[in-house]
Structure 1
Amino acid sequence: MTSVGVVADWHGEEGWGVIESSDTPTGCWVHYSNIWTLNHPPLRRGESIQVYGQATDLQVGETVDFDWESAMQDGFSFRAVDVRPRRQPPLRTVEFRVEGERVPWPVDRFGELPHGGHWTESTG
């Protein structure tokens, strides 16, 4: 489910925090790896994805759009699976490999890279 919330707490050194939203009334736990997530179907044998580029943190008080699931996580009943702050995404590069060889991003299986062109494909 997609909701709008506000970052209530952020532990940058540990990489997690809490989003408040009326849709997740006890707070929604979030991990840094779920900020501007590169969602994709399960990888097949021999496939790998490498991500390079800028890291990101959340800022207490900022508004975010987020997708979440009902799941217990560190005492919270909800867990964020993709968080999109309402600010410029970081620049990141993705490299897709099959059996160790770099190949083009599989648009037919995974769709276009998300977040308005802020993901780029590795050329080498």
Structure 2
Amino acid sequence: MLDSAETPGGCWAHFSNIAAPGYRELNAGQRVRLEWESPGQDRYDFRAIRVVPRQ
């Protein structure tokens, strides 16, 4: 689950939406750029369509 001011209650994300080479994973507290839509997914109001890890 990803959290942002634009996605109250959290944003569901699948690892395949992480824009990174090789093994894709995120660490707790890691900053990302988030692109999302709001059709809902697994009890979340928002679903990530692209997640870009920040350094």
Taking structure 1 as the reference length, the TM-score comes to 0.42
What runs of 5+ residues in structure 2 fail to find an aligned partner? none
Over 3 Å off, 4+ runs: none
Query: Rg larger in 1 or in 2?
Result: 1
1:34-73, aligned counterparts within 5 Å? 34-36=17-19, 54-73=22-41
Identity %: 44
Greater relative CO, 1 or 2 (CA 8 Å, sep 6+): 2
* Partner SS state of residue 39, structure 2: strand
Unaligned runs of 5+ in 1: 1-17, 38-52, 88-124
User: Over aligned residues, Cα RMSD in angstroms?
Assistant: 1.4
Equivalenced residue count is: 55
Cα deviation for residue 25 of structure 1 reads 0.5
1:23-71 deviation per Cα after TM superposition (whole angstroms, max 9, x unaligned)? 000100000000017xxxxxxxxxxxxxxx6111011111110100001
Q: TM-score by structure 2 length? A: 0.90
